[in-house]
Structure 1
């Protein structure tokens, strides 16, 4: 995960989508359930680094739809996160007013975020 993190730009992610946690190799077993979530985040980061730049800053909402998708997958996992992102995309049309539209936080979010937005198990206290 550290190799991918070194190439990811998060300059346009809301601060709620980044953190200060670090992935530790000894947490490989605890991180296994997060693999689908972090794989989806890798795809979203790749989209944001390539295709998203072609469109420029055209989103009527803050955060942008791709940043919303990152936050939704972080907070709710792949299935619910993609469903929330799809609902957000459906709200984005020429007649939409736009504005601030944050991802609804997960009531029991128990993970930590790296500075590049990947999800890791909580630190041992």
Structure 2
């Protein structure tokens, strides 16, 4: 329960970014899913700290000369244990 509340904070900030700023900045992500959607999925799948790690790693790679194309959030191998 508390984990969902903690994860809800960055997810709400990402959704606010998508609603308020993203329309003015235009489509610039080189990946599918977009970096903001990837971040939401990473937080939901892996929690706050690992999700933040994957999000930062993805944003660093989303630049000219970086990777592009389909790049899903890695599976949470610990979830089944």
User: The TM-score by the shorter chain falls in which range?
Assistant: 0.7 to 0.9
CA-atom RMSD, angstroms? 1.5
TM-score (norm 1): 0.58
Deviation at 1:97, TM superposition (A): 4.2
Deviation at 1:33, TM superposition (A): 3.0
Between the two structures, name the one with larger relative contact order (CA 8 Å, sep ≥ 6). 1
Count of residues in correspondence between the two structures: 79
Moved over 4 A (4+): none
Which protein has the larger Cα radius of gyration, Structure 1 or Structure 2?
A: 1
Q: Aligned pair in 2 of structure 1 residues 77, 97: CA closer, same or farther (>3 Å)?
A: closer
The answer to whether 1:37 aligns with 2:7 is yes
Task: Give the equivalent residue in structure 2 for 1:16.
Answer: none
Q: 1:66 aligns with which of 32, 36, 39?
A: 36
Provide structure 2 residue ranges, at least 5 long, that are not aligned to the other structure. none
Q: Which has the higher helix share?
A: 2
Structure 2 SS opposite 1:94: coil
Task: Give the equivalent residue in structure 2 for 1:75.
Answer: 45
